[in-house]
Structure 1
Amino acid sequence: MSERVITPRSRGFLFVDSHPAGCQRLVHDAWASVPAAAPTLTEREPVALVIGSSAGYGLAATIAGLARARIRGIAVCFEKPPGRRTATAGWYRTAATAELARRHGRDMVFLNGDAFADAMKQRVAQLLTDRFGGRLDYLLYAVAAPRRTDPSTGVTYASQLKPIGAPHRTKTLVFDERGAPKVKEIVVPPAQGDDIAQTVAVMGGADWARWVNQLADRRLLAEGFTTAALTYIGSPTTEAVYRRGTIGAAKADLEETARSLNDRLGGIAGRAVTSVNGAAVTQSSTAVPTIALYTALLHAVLGDAMVPPIEQLVQLWDQFTSGRPLTLDDEGRLRLDTWELAPPVQAALTSRWNEATTSNISRLADLEWFRTQVHQLYGFAVPGISYDVPVETDVPWPDPVHPPS
């Protein structure tokens, strides 16, 4: 037993500890928000693999898949166990998700390890063979990592958050040591050397394709297999650093990978797409310059009309399991971000962005919502949780051996 009172301590948007009870409550609330599965979605329990299942859209994909589409299968993530500090928030979220899956009779195996490594791919392939009948219906790819080691060469690549061609002057939101908000102007230096290639190697489609190709080579993909990489395009306001920057080059590679995989899967009537999600406060997005300010302003514009990740992933699973053609844009992408990019929304946001300064940001942006969202990434600021009460931090990883009874 290792009980203690956990208080939020952070360096910028990164917290040094996570709160197990808060993480558990958030997972339970997300599951409870998913509409009951429609009869057409429950005729058969599909086998799914979610890669990057413990945070952000990957977590939403896992919860929505379990609660709405009644999936069974495997979820893969990479989280740190409890030790001198608490476990990572994703560790606790995974434990809570696994308990709900077990309680609802879903046979879901949760694996902790490096999704980029071939050893993990081989472990998943063996599990699919031994436990799930050698048939995979869906693969959702939602990995967000700062670096990747290529298993073929052993070379480690590191992604960069930079514009391409020239420095970019923009705004960013920060909070000082007292928690006071400040809007700062920053200059982001341009990509140099192999920055673009490094970012594409980490965040492009290479690992997604490696997963699909290795499973295909072992004949583990079911007839009609569907795979999607979860991605983000974003607003013209942020595109210089995002869509037209080094990350954008990686996103373009991801989209080209989808087209290539889609061609390969034609022989089994399969399909591969990128799913373009809307803005959200996630552990990865807070690392991107401009995104904190952008999301705080966006929520001030939209309020409750801002669609949370869990609702977007319910829409994704409904499209996947409906038996009807997917709703795709002209580039072959499944779009779940239309609410964010609607012209009136972007016009209102751009006006606020141009006006934003330290003196007026509290009026223009929803700072309280943003602070709460950041805290909740680590299990803090969750209604109903008593943070002055000791809580058990030594939570075990879900047992991967025994299926639910």
Structure 2
Amino acid sequence: MNRRVLTPRNRGFLFLDSHPAGCRQLVADMWQSCPAPADVPEGAGPVALVIGSSAGYGLAATLAGLKRAGIRGIAVSFEKAPTERRTATAGWYRTAATADIARAAGRDMVFLNGDAFSDAMKDQVADLVEQRFGGRLDYLVYSVAAPRRTDPVTGATYASVLKPIGRANRTKTLVFDDEGVPEVREAETGPAEGDDVEQTVAVMGGADWERWIDHLAGRGLLANGFATAALSYIGSSLTAAMYRQGTIGAAKAHLEATARALNERLDRTVGGRAVTSVNGAAVTQSSTAIPGIALYTGLLRGVLGEGMVPPVRQLAALWDQLTGAAPLALDDEGRIRLDAWELTDEVQTAVAGRWETATTDTIADLADLDWFRAEVRRLYGFSVPGIDYTAAVATDVPWPDHTS
């Protein structure tokens, strides 16, 4: 068994190794912080599929679904196994921990590792729904953030980019040096060129979500009343040029258009529903890559403190609405809004004021930097309370076995 003492090694917000015990404890903490469980007898919960289940809001959707809604079913993610030289990805360890929690809770949950964009994975999931879960799927939550996608029909590979549309964007951004000292810089990103928008929409838009629905419907696996939600984000006007008005925003607009088309179709065919769920800000492996988002999130925490709503509580609210435990609350665009706590005028005015005065000299007084740094490290299993990081830990944790 490969046992090592692991210390964080990083390049900016990207860490080279992950800590298995820290990732396990992080998942356990999320489970504990999820609101009280649903009263669902063992083996009687709805059958759900979570695509993109190992990180961020997808992980929160999986844990909240297991605890709050009593789901059973399938979770799909794409993670790297441990090697002699490197640990597994953090999502690998988080998935192993989630599988143990599901088993202890009496929830039959299968965890698959592979390319969610591929037809092979869609076939594998459909086979499991048919053979293991009674041939009917009640819910599908789609939470995929990927750098590229290969179309299984044409074989074309598309790559997503983070760029503004129309003109270059200059924004404040937050970085940390090798010693962890914060610096507020100006970052300029050139505008989308050529087919950047189309490429990003092909990866991050609704095309694959719709293919999943097509595939499952084609096998006759959608239950009456089937509901599906794709997870999204809108965010603040402070980050809009790079996010909602940029290439990623174009993909999110396509995702929402897909939801409207799917909603009409599902209502007609199975009395079902499709929505996008707009979540609030959080520190995730995807969000830290977007210029300006780190600074904004740190300032938001500085304003709200414990008033920030963690992902697992947001996703518990989503499951309540999907299952009918709470009324379905949609905005004028047909979206479930879980971000109201973030986008009030009072909060946004306070964050904007801090944004204007944020410099390297003032940032420590304006943002909760200790929280932000710890949140980034916790994405990889470091800085998790209760873990002895001086102790050697086994890194060759197996992927959950679903054959039993």
Fold match, TM over 0.5?
A: yes
Contact 1:163 1:241 in 2 (8 A): yes
Flag the 1:89–1:40 CA change in 2: closer, same or farther, 3 A.
closer
**1:110 and 2:111 are equivalent in the alignment:** yes
Alignment of 1:308-387 (within 5 A): 308-322=310-324, 325-387=327-389
Counterparts of 1:34 and 1:279, CA distance in 2 = 17
Counterparts of 1:399 and 1:261, CA distance in 2 = 33
Contact 2:43 2:72 in 1 (8 A): no
1:261-320: per-residue Cα shift (whole Å, max 9, x none)?
Answer: 111101211000000000000000001110000000000000000000000001011111
Number of matched residues? 402
Choose 321-330 or 147-156, whichever is displaced more: 321-330
Residue in 1 that maps onto 2:392: 390
Counterparts of 1:44 and 1:342, CA distance in 2 = 39
Counterparts of 1:126 and 1:38, CA distance in 2 = 28
Give SS of 2:115's match. coil
Residue in 1 that maps onto 2:11: 11
Flag the 1:203–1:284 CA change in 2: closer, same or farther, 3 A.
same
Counterparts of 2:220 and 2:59, CA distance in 1 = 27
Contact 1:41 1:321 in 2 (8 A): no
Counterparts of 2:99 and 2:192, CA distance in 1 = 41
Q: Which amino acid aligns with 1:300?
A: G
CA shift at 1:130, angstroms? 0.3
Counterparts of 2:229 and 2:330, CA distance in 1 = 12
1:355-404: per-residue Cα shift (whole Å, max 9, x none)?
Answer: 101110111111000000000000000111000000000100000111xx
CA shift at 1:36, angstroms? 2.4
Counterparts of 1:214 and 1:151, CA distance in 2 = 12
Counterparts of 1:201 and 1:41, CA distance in 2 = 41
Give SS of 1:76's match. strand
Counterparts of 1:304 and 1:324, CA distance in 2 = 24
Residue in 2 that maps onto 1:241: 242
Give SS of 2:341's match. helix
Q: Which amino acid aligns with 1:97?
A: T
Counterparts of 1:304 and 1:262, CA distance in 2 = 36
Alignment of 1:153-232 (within 5 A): 153-232=154-233
Q: Gaps spanning 5+ residues in structure 2: where?
A: none
1:119-145: per-residue Cα shift (whole Å, max 9, x none)?
Answer: 000000000000000000000000110
CA shift at 1:98, angstroms? 0.2
1:315-344: per-residue Cα shift (whole Å, max 9, x none)?
Answer: 011111126651100000000000000110
Counterparts of 1:74 and 1:177, CA distance in 2 = 40
How much is the aligned-residue C-alpha RMSD, in angstroms? 1.2
Alignment of 1:23-102 (within 5 A): 23-39=23-39, 44-83=44-83, 84-102=85-103
Kindly report structure 1 stretches of 4+ aligned residues shifted beyond 3 Å.
Answer: 38-44
Contact 2:160 2:203 in 1 (8 A): yes
Counterparts of 1:146 and 1:243, CA distance in 2 = 17
Counterparts of 2:191 and 2:223, CA distance in 1 = 44
Q: Which amino acid aligns with 2:263?
A: N
Give SS of 2:322's match. helix
Give SS of 2:69's match. coil
Give SS of 1:338's match. coil
Give SS of 1:73's match. strand
Give SS of 1:339's match. coil
Counterparts of 1:365 and 1:36, CA distance in 2 = 32
Q: TM-score, normalised by structure 2?
A: 0.98
Identity %: 69
Residue in 1 that maps onto 2:258: 257
Residue in 1 that maps onto 2:283: 281
